[in-house]
Amino acid sequence: MLRALLFFFLLSISLSAQECSPYFDIPTYELSSKKSASIGYVACLHAGGVVAEVGYDNVFVGVLAMGGGHNNETYSFIQYDFVYPNVRVYGGPVYRIVQNPSLLIGRFGTDFKLYSRLWGTASILQVNTNLNYFHFGVKLVI
Per residue in 53-108, pLDDT (tens digit) is: 999 888 999 999 998 888 889 999 999 999 888 999 999 999 999 888 999 999 99
Residue 134: predicted pLDDT: 92
Give the pLDDT mean for 121-128: 92
Task: Name which of 18, 85, 22, 92 is nearest 60 in CA terms.
Answer: 92
Cα 72 to chain centroid distance, Å, stands at 24
Q: How far is CA 36 from CA 56, 132, 141, in A?
A: 6, 27, 7
| Domain edges within the chain | 35-141
Considering the four listed CATH numbers 3.40.50.10860, 3.20.20.10, 2.60.40.10, 2.40.160.20, the one that applies to the domain covering 35-141 is 2.40.160.20
Cα–Cα distance measured from residue 112 to residue 19, given in angstroms and rounded to the nearest whole number: 54
* Distance, CA of 122 to CA of 72 (rounded, Å): 20
